[in-house]
Structure 1
Amino acid sequence: MASPISCKSIFLLPLIATSLFFQVSNATFEVKADQALIDSICEQTQDVDFCKSTFNADPRTPAADRDGLGLLSIAINIDVVQATIDDTIPKIVKTLTDPVDKQRIQVCLTDYNDALVILKSAYTASSEKNYKEVIGLITDAANKIVDCDGAYRKSPPIREPPISGENDKVTKLTDITYICYY
């Protein structure tokens, strides 16, 4: 009579082998973000060094494929916009005395809040692989940042926005997202 262990082995070994084969074969179809993929995306952006340093600094990058890098760029952008709304703008408001500057930073706060809503919609669209919608939404978010910049540059007194660094980051991140999905 056959031992119970050998009977179980007859059923388990093919199951284990099939499971291992399935995992290995599926892994070959997914291209993860190696440096060559990051370079191929970043070389198309306006600021190659910013793009590379952004992806290389984020621990989620190695697990992402090209679409995942697009999603990641949106997530990073959401973080930048949220930090600007929560931290940067309130600190600036406390230092302002000029009524024109106070009004302008409020315009930027509104634009950043709008951009945040748009970026969250872009994240959802990207998760659903609706890349045409992502491109439109990313363009809309970038335009909100242009509007913020315009609040300081379109009428006198013309000044550099106090959040010009944040404006640049958001714009560069939208550029990265656009490259990932175009």
Structure 2
Amino acid sequence: MTTTRTGSRVHRVSLHPLPPFIIIFSLSQAKPTQANPEEEGSSIQPTKLVDEVCHSTSSYSLCVESLCTDPRTPSADRYVLAYISFRLAFLNASSTQDHIAKLLKHTEAKAKAKAKANTGPTQQVLRRCYHDYNKAVSALSSAYNDLNSETFSDLVDWAGAASLAADDCQVVVKTTYPPLSTMNLDLKRLCEICVAVSKLFT
């Protein structure tokens, strides 16, 4: 469903369905950070609004490339851009939580096959991270609900809560599972974009 704005009214947009290309998008596979979109190798021309938002993040090019995965970005005002940024973060967190659930199921099956107790470090780490990502998904969902009700005061806090959940997962993951560490970093970067967009309303 497309998000539109008429006068001062923002039309509600559901988090679902979600484009597959957003689900598989990984910030870790994006181009190296560039200081300016006009630098050699950059083919994306961000709008003035996207440029403003992304200059407020720690990785300009990753921010631009993330936002530009959504076809609405070129014509987006701050309201639509907020929907886009929180949607990307929500998708990322949900996808990672699903990935963790599959890993946990796999490790539990292996443990049962070996007649071992299901309390090993690997499972403990995965259970902790699953719980952390449940908090991240919940926070980002709340942010989306706030956008639908045109309530903007808590958006920065919701994005911060989701980012903190990724930090909490990383505390237990450390260097044990590099792919999950990458996913944690991806969510933090997307949440940083959410914070930058949210500050447009303050």
Greater Cα radius of gyration, structure 1 or 2: 1
**TM-score scaled by structure 1?**
0.71
User: In the TM superposition, what are the counterparts of 1:44-63 in structure 2 within 5 Å?
Assistant: 44-63=56-75
Displacement of 1:66 after TM fit? 1.6
Aligned residue in 1 for 2:79: 67
Maintained 8 Å contact 2:47/2:74 = no
Structure 1: distance between partners of 2:187 and 2:127: 18
Amino acid at match of 2:180: I
Pick one of 130, 133, 139 that aligns with 1:118. Answer: 139
Name the CA distance, whole Å, in 1 between partners of 2:122 and 2:60: 33
Structure 2 Cα separation of the partners of residues 162 and 57 of structure 1 = 22
Q: C-alpha distance in 2, partners of 1:90/1:139?
A: 23
| SS of equivalent to 2:153 | helix
Query: Does the CA contact (< 8 Å) of 2:136 and 2:166 recur in 1?
Result: yes
Aligned to 2:196: 179
The answer as to whether partners of 1:149 and 1:161 remain within 8 angstroms in 2 is no
The corresponding residue for 2:15 is: none
Provide, for residues 68-95 of structure 1, a one-character-per-residue CA deviation record: whole Å limited to 9, x for no partner.
2122111111111111122x21343325
Runs of 4+ that moved beyond 4 A: 95-98
Q: Which residue is 1:29 aligned to? A: none
Q: Which structure exhibits the higher relative contact order, with contacts defined as CA atoms closer than 8 Å and separated by 6 or more residues?
A: 1
For the residue of structure 1 that corresponds to 2:159, the secondary structure is helix
Equivalent position of 2:181 in the other structure: 164
Do the aligned residues in 2 keep the contact of 1:84 with 1:166 (CA within 8 Å)? yes
The more displaced of 97-106 and 134-143 is: 97-106
Q: Using structure 2 for the length normalisation, give the TM-score.
A: 0.65
Deviation of residue 131 (structure 1)? 1.8
Rounded to whole Å, the distance in 2 between the matches of 1:140 and 1:92 is 24
**Contact 1:70–1:176 (8 Å) recurs in 2:** no
More helix by share: 1
Please provide the CA RMSD for this pair: 2.3
Confirm or deny that 1:151 pairs with 2:172.
yes
* Contact 2:173 2:181 (8 Å CA) reproduced: no
Residues 23-34 of structure 1 aligned to structure 2 (within 5 Å): none
Aligned residues with identical type, % of pairs: 27
Residues 18-66 of structure 1, C-alpha deviations (whole Å, 9 max, x = no match): xxxxxxxx7xxxxxxx622211111110111111101112112134212
Match of 1:127 in 2: 148
CA distance in 2, matches of 1:162, 1:181: 29
Letter of the aligned partner of 1:175 in structure 2?
E
CA distance in 2, matches of 1:75, 1:58: 10
Q: Which moved more, 1:56-65 or 1:43-52?
A: 56-65
- Which residue of structure 2 lines up, in the alignment, with residue 85 of structure 1? 97
Structure 1 Cα separation of the partners of residues 156 and 47 of structure 2: 24
* Residue 143 of structure 1, CA deviation: 1.2
Alignment partners' CA distance in 1, 2:173 and 2:92: 20
Structure 2 gaps of 5+ residues are 1-6, 8-45, 112-118
Alignment partners' CA distance in 2, 1:137 and 1:119: 6
